[in-house]
Amino acid sequence: MLVEPTRDRVAERREATRREILDAAWDVAHLKGIAAVTLKDVADRVGMRPPSLYSHFASKNAIYDAMFGQAWQGCLDAMRAAADGVPDDPRAAMATMGRAYFEYAVADQARNQLMNARISADFQPSPEAYAPSLAVWELGRTHLAMIGVTAEADLDLYSAVIGGLVDAQLANDPGGDRYARQLDRAVGMLADHFGL
């Protein structure tokens, strides 16, 4: 009697190689910047020739796409974890969610650039990679609505203020806390503006 295999070892090896390629791409991004990732650098890190990468990713943009999806999925996971412990007080709730996003974003400059800046004129994330980004937006909308902030313009303003603090932190005091210290103050001003 033949037993059906329970594992697809070829698929497992292929997936492990894809993960290794993505890890190498992140390593290059951390060393050189996200826009400076090259297929040659990635291939060198995994011990391949650049053309061999094409059997796993169709292009450099396909690698960026997978990285983009990873980055936003990580953000979604961090935001969901923060949402589980959101206080009842509206100001504290805004601060908790804002801080969760801020900390995730400033923890990795290359990742934040991929998530929030146009790194290449021809890179456009696929709908699948973009989906966690939309889920983060919806999570933010839901939590602001729970505290009475429902206007789309208010969500835009909240997002712009938190994102602006992230950008200022990464540009002016990477690894420090200069703009992190302003987060509660900025959220307080927004809460006053929103009438909370």
Quote the CA–CA distance of 29 and 169 in Å, as a whole number.
19
166: left (phi over 0), alpha (psi -120 to 50) or beta: alpha
Say what the pLDDT of residue 15 is.
83
- Global pTM value: 0.89
Instruction: Round to whole Å and give the CA distance between 181 and 187.
Output: 11
pLDDT of 121? 87
Check residue 190 and give its pLDDT: 95
Distance CA(59)–CA(65), nearest Å, equals 10
Instruction: Please identify every stretch of the chain with a pLDDT value under 50, giving residue numbers as ranges.
Output: none
| Predicted local distance difference test score (pLDDT) of residue 3 | 64
Which domains does the chain show, CATH number per domain?
7-57 (1.10.10.60), 64-194 (1.10.357.10)
pLDDT in the model for residue 25: 96
Asked whether 159 and 140 are in contact (CB, 8 A), the reply is yes
